Structure 1
Amino acid sequence: MERSNNNHRDENGAGSDLTLPLLPESSPPENDSSGYDDKEEGKLSVRVWVESKKLWQIVGPAIFSRVATYTMNVITQAFAGHLGEVELAAISIANTVIVGFNFGLLLGMASALETLCGQAFGAKRYHMLGIYLQRSWIVLFLCCFALLPVYVFATPILKLMGQTDDVAEQSGLVAMWLIPLHFSFAFQFPMQRFLQCQLKNFIIAWVSLVGLLVNVFTSWLLVYALDFGVVGAAVALDISWWFLVFGMYVYIACGWCPLTWTGFSVEAFSGLWQFIKLSAASGVMLCLENWYYRILILMTGYLKDATVAVDALSVCMTINGWELMIPLAFFAGTGVRVANELGAGNWKGAKFATKVAVAESTVIGLFFCVLVMVLKDKIAYIFTTSSDVLEAVDELSYLLAITILLNSVQPVLSGVAVGSGWQAWVAYINLFCYYIVGLPLGFVMGWVFNLSIAGIWGGMIFGGTAVQTVILAVITIRRDWKKEAEDASRRVSKWSSPNPEDKQSEQQLLH
């Protein structure tokens, strides 16, 4: 049966990678001689140190850039908060619900580049990275147009969701002004992954830092100096994100990526359907995760003491959101490292990179888990002095700690999936765990057993996130890594064409 599945892949090309792969029944033979020999690599401590340096070359700048972009949204909400309660609600809802709905899908679609660019880079098919980047621009730009109705009809959508007329109308106005931000995702996300896959991560961090400073200045200028109100706050966010786009494009197009960017090519328009299928699988995989805890907030709004419950949950989700930037950076780093090693045919290197990434992310998650439990009755003071909210956050802190711990493992395993190119598998797993098991269990615990917000959140954690993490861990452990390297080699061959310039050394590429 395994043989017939491989034949199916060979006949149908890269697009067939989106079918559900068969679960490997056993690990490859221990005496296999391909690529990675423990004795040759020296002591375990040396190998861990070498792999950690490679991993943190990606993870370090990725943490900084993600925190910087996350902070842009916080700054925008802070400026809007000084204008009034309706303005704060409008920018928060437009950013969280309207933009957030599309953000997860587009971010996930761009992660297809982590598979293709990462494996092409490992195989030294450098010229294909620029072509993949252009294909991703085309696909995501078209997707942005398809998602425009969400912005145009934001006001009636929010009214149907139960928002008051004044908040819904103001949020709809803000959503229209955030359309430029929406289109910036189509270019910024692919360029970020294009640079990550060739280990040019510090430029992303520097551009993000300057973009954050631009956001602070433009927010002050448009909201306070020019008195444009909440529209000014939205425009400031637009300008900041487009600064990220132009900053990275200048770096890419002006000679700092000589082998991977050789200019625009008509080859970018070929094979678009296969690229769309891989991007769609990646998008579904990530957006199902992104929407899961947003639904938690919506479900909490229907409880009896909804105000205190939503406030307490918002505090917990904000803390979780800040800490989540670290696992998401590991998601990116793991995807790149696994893709690079598989593309180079080094399946043992990919396996070892996975072990190191999971171990280091878990240690960091344990640290923050313990920190939350120690400060459980104090962490909410950052956001509020309400005794009711403080008490509610204290009661929820153990769920927050468990969520942080699980989120330190799950994104790394998803990163392995992205680096290997089996996003479709994870999309099915996410759909099952989150929406068939997790949400119903949260509903039952919250309303049937009358456990309120703790029941909803607990059900969604243990029924969704925990089950998903276990399934991904089992699949990752049972993977046939040698076969994954062979699949990566076939994928690179089918999706690319040879280029004599690719014989130049990797040192020249990284110069």
Structure 2
Amino acid sequence: MTHSERSHQFTHSSSKRRASVVYGSVGKGGLYIPSDFIGSPSDRNRHSLQSDIEADENSPLIDVQGTQANLVDNVSNHFKNRRKSSVARELLDQERELLEESHIPVGDLKSDDDVRDAFEDAVENHQIEVTTPMLELKTLISSAIPSVVTFLLQCSLSTVSVFSVGHIGATELAAVSMGAMTANITGYATIQGIATALDTLCPQAFGAKRYTMVGEYLQKCVALISVVMLPVLIAWVFFGYDLICLLVPDKETAKLAAQYLQYVSVGIPAYILFECGKRFLQAQGIYNVGAYVLLIAAPSNLIMNWYLVKHIGYIGAPISVAINYWLMAAGLFAFTIFFVKAEDAPSGLHPLKCWGGLNIKHAFQGWKRLVSLAIPGLVMLEAEFLAFEILTLLASYIDTKSLAAQSIGTTMASLTYQVPFAIGIASSSRIANFLGAGLAESAKVTTRVSLSFGLIISVLNFLALYCFRRPIANAFTKDQEVIDIVLGVMWLIAAMQVSDAMNANSAGCLRGQGQTKIGGIVNLVSYYVVGLPLSIYLSFYSPWKGSLHGLW
């Protein structure tokens, strides 16, 4: 059996090319991300890898590359290079585990291809039909741990700022929350949303072997985001106070929030380069560089925040964030050039193979397809960011102390959310792999295990926030009034963990089945039709008005 003839093999779905959300913002990242993982049911008899690397038939990449026969060559070439990939090794190990679990001897299999052929034959002969819950639990845990670590590291970038500033005073704590909220909505979500276009365009170009086009799309996207963000940064630097005063009643909070925007704006160009550069590498199957950079940036941000806030006060927090954005961009650049080797890349190519040189004039031309993909991603991320950030804005209309307490609550909710979200990511890949291999019953087992495991995690999150609510509040601030507000509302934030974690896990299961539209509709209706109107009523018009309880 040749590589291209295999139709029942594990292959990573688009989950590895998921659009990055700004995890750990003062608000929360989106519950659903703009990626589909597998084809329609009628397509499942084909190898799922082909749907991953095929460009859309209307894409200009297909016209440039040639006939559909080239797509078959791409599939075959990918299999030839697959044994070089750490991702492929993970999938091969999963296939081997399923063979062993089904009591099919694998000791005599001398090569990776022997394992793949044995797995194919076992599926064809119905020797592998259903996996076991224990095996799925083990696989989900091992797959989720790296994602949890990565998400928590990125989450720590903003958590540290809230933590360090909170010890100065309630006004400063409220200001850093408002400044970060404004930066999230008008800055980070905009950058992330536009950059999602690269999740489609760069893999298409790479799959079609138009390697330098990957670099061209990178430059075009950086140029487009820069043009969009330029007026935003001008507003942050010169009109930040006036704009925030329109939203926040307390003038001192608005003044400090405006300072946050002024200083953090220095790091925004680096943030653009980091996010686009990360997608440039992900399109080539290189996913670990971003994690390595965060392993350096997160401790650096912690130390820098502590030192600068201690010595220069409130503005030390945004200065630290800006500096670390530049360190992240420089780190990504250095790792790509000096540490990534061709033999370690899934394709066997060095990532600079996709860099055709800097062409500034060309970068500002031909944005039509880029814009058509960027707008839906931008709208989706803005919608999801806005829902939670509106709560922060509403808290500012209660009083400054409540806004300060709100920043602690949303920070902890965002932190605990990373664990079930990572489990959802792991389960979506596993479910998509099973469906791609034609093992629908095994996909059901994974779904049940994922939801059950997610329920356990949600209960642990609830217990952690509820039982340690006082140490958590004391860790963020010394203001007793803010601490009392946090203690009063933390039971609600803790209780929300159960539904929030189950939402993240069920979203992962839906993504694995390619049913993201269901989650998207539920998400929008829940937030904008039910959640936010109810929060506004309870917080400002009900008999219980005037407290954070209504918001949560």
Shorter-chain TM-score tier: 0.5 to 0.7
SS in 2 for 1:161: coil
Deviation at 1:169, TM superposition (A): 1.8
Match of 2:379 among 284, 298, 308: 284
SS in 1 for 2:47: coil
Structure-2 residue corresponding to 1:251: 335
The 3 A distance-change label for structure 1 pair 435 and 353 is: farther
Residue 414 of structure 2 aligns with an amino acid whose one-letter code is G
Instruction: Kindly provide the CA deviation profile for residues 393-418 of structure 1, in whole angstroms up to 9, marking residues without a partner as x.
Output: 2255323422232133336656987x
Residue 164 of structure 2 aligns with an amino acid whose one-letter code is F
Q: Determine whether 1:261 maps to 2:352.
A: yes
Deviation at 1:35, TM superposition (A): 2.5
Deviation at 1:374, TM superposition (A): 4.1
Q: Determine whether 1:406 maps to 2:503.
A: yes
Q: Which runs of 5+ in 1 are unaligned?
A: 1-25, 459-511
Name the structure with the higher helix share: 1
Residue 298 of structure 2 aligns with an amino acid whose one-letter code is L
Deviation at 1:182, TM superposition (A): 2.1
Structure-1 residue corresponding to 2:11: none
Q: Determine whether 1:371 maps to 2:460.
A: yes
The 3 A distance-change label for structure 1 pair 137 and 93 is: same
Q: Work out the CA distance in 2 between the residues paired with 1:271 and 1:243.
A: 31
Taking structure 1 as the reference length, what is the TM-score of the superposition? Answer: 0.66
Instruction: Kindly provide the CA deviation profile for residues 288-343 of structure 1, in whole angstroms up to 9, marking residues without a partner as x.
Output: 1112112123334445xx6776566544422220122245556777899999x8xx
Residues 290-305 of structure 1 mapped to structure 2, 5 A cutoff? 290-302=385-397
Structure-1 residue corresponding to 2:320: 236
Structure-2 residue corresponding to 1:110: 195
Residue 73 of structure 1 aligns with an amino acid whose one-letter code is S
Q: Work out the CA distance in 1 between the residues paired with 2:461 and 2:42.
A: 43
Q: Determine whether 1:203 maps to 2:289.
A: yes
Structure-2 residue corresponding to 1:435: 528
SS in 1 for 2:315: helix
Structure-2 residue corresponding to 1:272: 367
Deviation at 1:198, TM superposition (A): 3.8
Indicate conservation of the 8 Å contact 2:535/2:551, yes or no: yes
Indicate conservation of the 8 Å contact 2:129/2:442, yes or no: no
- Supply the RMSD in Å over aligned alpha carbons: 4.4
SS in 2 for 1:45: coil
Q: Work out the CA distance in 1 between the residues paired with 2:380 and 2:135.
A: 32
Q: Work out the CA distance in 2 between the residues paired with 1:109 and 1:55.
A: 32
Q: Work out the CA distance in 2 between the residues paired with 1:189 and 1:354.
A: 32
Structure-2 residue corresponding to 1:495: none
Q: Determine whether 1:144 maps to 2:229.
A: yes
Deviation at 1:79, TM superposition (A): 3.3
Q: Determine whether 1:392 maps to 2:489.
A: yes
Q: Determine whether 1:323 maps to 2:427.
A: no
Indicate conservation of the 8 Å contact 1:219/1:233, yes or no: yes
Instruction: Kindly provide the CA deviation profile for residues 244-274 of structure 1, in whole angstroms up to 9, marking residues without a partner as x.
Output: 1111122224464645433245575664221
Structure-2 residue corresponding to 1:98: 183
Structure-2 residue corresponding to 1:63: 148
Structure-2 residue corresponding to 1:34: 46
Q: Work out the CA distance in 1 between the residues paired with 2:142 and 2:458.
A: 21
Q: Which runs of 5+ in 2 are unaligned?
A: 1-38, 49-119, 343-348, 475-482
The 3 A distance-change label for structure 1 pair 332 and 297 is: same
Deviation at 1:176, TM superposition (A): 0.9
Indicate conservation of the 8 Å contact 1:114/1:336, yes or no: no
Aligned residues: percent identity? Answer: 23
Q: Work out the CA distance in 1 between the residues paired with 2:183 and 2:289.
A: 29
Indicate conservation of the 8 Å contact 2:185/2:382, yes or no: no
How many residues are aligned here?
Answer: 419
Taking structure 2 as the reference length, what is the TM-score of the superposition? Answer: 0.62
Structure-2 residue corresponding to 1:382: 471
Deviation at 1:175, TM superposition (A): 1.3
Deviation at 1:98, TM superposition (A): 3.0
Find the structure with the greater CA-based Rg.
Answer: 2
The 3 A distance-change label for structure 1 pair 411 and 273 is: farther
Q: Determine whether 1:173 maps to 2:259.
A: yes
Deviation at 1:179, TM superposition (A): 0.7
Deviation at 1:223, TM superposition (A): 4.0
Q: Work out the CA distance in 2 between the residues paired with 1:334 and 1:177.
A: 40
The 3 A distance-change label for structure 1 pair 412 and 194 is: farther
Q: Work out the CA distance in 1 between the residues paired with 2:450 and 2:209.
A: 29
Q: Work out the CA distance in 2 between the residues paired with 1:105 and 1:204.
A: 20
Q: Work out the CA distance in 1 between the residues paired with 2:437 and 2:503.
A: 26
Indicate conservation of the 8 Å contact 2:510/2:519, yes or no: no
Instruction: Kindly provide the CA deviation profile for residues 30-79 of structure 1, in whole angstroms up to 9, marking residues without a partner as x.
Output: 9x74227782494543999799979966x544432332232122223333
Q: Work out the CA distance in 1 between the residues paired with 2:198 and 2:431.
A: 13
Q: Work out the CA distance in 1 between the residues paired with 2:185 and 2:379.
A: 14
SS in 1 for 2:161: helix
Indicate conservation of the 8 Å contact 2:159/2:411, yes or no: no
Q: Work out the CA distance in 1 between the residues paired with 2:168 and 2:141.
A: 43
Q: Work out the CA distance in 1 between the residues paired with 2:464 and 2:408.
A: 14
The 3 A distance-change label for structure 1 pair 28 and 175 is: closer
Residue 141 of structure 1 aligns with an amino acid whose one-letter code is S
More displaced 10-residue stretch of structure 1: 312-321 or 179-188: 312-321
Deviation at 1:91, TM superposition (A): 3.1
Indicate conservation of the 8 Å contact 1:55/1:357, yes or no: no
Indicate conservation of the 8 Å contact 1:309/1:392, yes or no: no
Indicate conservation of the 8 Å contact 1:151/1:176, yes or no: yes
Q: Work out the CA distance in 1 between the residues paired with 2:497 and 2:334.
A: 41
The 3 A distance-change label for structure 1 pair 445 and 352 is: farther
The 3 A distance-change label for structure 1 pair 400 and 49 is: closer
Residue 175 of structure 1 aligns with an amino acid whose one-letter code is L
Q: Determine whether 1:133 maps to 2:218.
A: yes
The 3 A distance-change label for structure 1 pair 63 and 188 is: farther
Deviation at 1:439, TM superposition (A): 2.4
